[in-house]
Amino acid sequence: MPPEIPLEMTAALTDSHCHLAYPGLEERLDDVLAHMHDKGVTRALNICTTLEEFDAVHAIALRYPGVWASVGVHPDNEGVREPTVEDLTRLAQLPRVVGIGETGLDYFRLGERTVAEMEWQRERFRVHIRAALQLDKPLIIHTRASAEDTLAILAEEGQGRARGVMHCFTENWDVAQRALDLGFYISIAGIVTFKNAQALRDVAVQIPADRLLIETDSPYLAPMPHRGKTNEPAYVSYVADYLAELRGVDREALAEQTSDNFTRLFLQ
């Protein structure tokens, strides 16, 4: 890893995707947010994965300056309240709610089911896209083992008007380029620092600077040198350091660019 840069020399960073209402972070939030600021990370987007947790996600955004919230139901969550367009649009208009998601498709844990049997996921995804279009809010997209269907539904339902971010991106360059062609941003998490992630590094160097976001997806996927430990927003600084070296750019420029991109996508 590149050496840590003193805080007074760093541009402000933004963690574009974290789960502050999850165990491991929620019970020590004051310390987590203080550590975040100590590392020069001044903003974070707290992501919702079920309607049942939305109140807790939203309360954190209302309590802490520099934290925003999303509303959505993760594609992997079963046995939870199913969202309607009306649910999502109502909650997405509350103060400090700036995105729709986490949504998308995940075929990784099919078990004995077929892809055809995952129509409930595809319909849930369509509901999120329709809500986002109604409000002109960005989508936060999760895709795992489902890139073709994810892109096809985005193109079909989005009608060229859907916008948002492909979060924690781990797909190949072809998928990235097609997402970029749809107008989406690409967010890179700490996976890029893992030894076995060369394919992702090959993608990360090609993402246009004005479409790049960085994230932690905390409390999961802590970057090196904290891999295997609880992740937190402060560690997006390691993602920034690593990406700057990988892309051969000034770390300050990358911090400023990715924060500007977050502002453009979610706050304007």
Residue 201 burial by Cβ neighbours in a 10 Å radius (0-12, 13-18, 19+): middle
Query: Three-state SS across 2-28?
Result: CCCCCHHHCCCEEEEEECCCCCCCHHH
Residue 112: per-residue pLDDT = 86
Structure tokens at 202: 């090959």
pLDDT digits 0-9 by tens, 40-72: 999 999 999 999 999 999 999 999 999 999 999
Around Cβ 56, how many Cβ atoms within 10 Å? 15
DSSP sequence for 157-199? HHTTT--EEE-S--S-HHHHHHHHHTT-EEEE-GGGGSTT-HH
CA distance 260 to 264: 6
Residue 70 to residue 118: CA distance in whole angstroms: 24
pLDDT at 182: 97
Q: Whole-angstrom Cα distance, residue 39 to residue 51? A: 31
CA 238 from chain center: how many Å? 16
Cβ-in-10-Å burial (0-12, 13-18, 19+) of 204 comes to buried
pLDDT of residue 4: 46
Residue with tokens 């492909």: 166
Q: Phi and psi dihedrals of 104, rounded to 5?
A: 135, -145
Question: How many helices (H) and strands (E) in the chain?
Answer: 9, 8
Distances in Å between the Cα of 200 and the Cα atoms of 35, 159, 168, 186 are: 28, 29, 10, 12
* DSSP-assigned states of every residue in 25-59: TGGGHHHHHHHHHHTTEEEEEEPP--STTHHHHHH
Is the CA virtual torsion 43, 48, 49, 54 positive or negative?
Answer: positive
Q: Is the dihedral of CA 82, 85, 86, 88 positive or negative?
A: positive
- Locate the DSSP E strands across 33-149: 41-46, 67-71, 97-106, 139-144
Flag residues of the chain having pLDDT under 50: 1-9
Based on its alpha-carbon atoms, the radius of gyration of the chain, rounded to whole angstroms, reads 17
pTM score, two decimals? 0.95
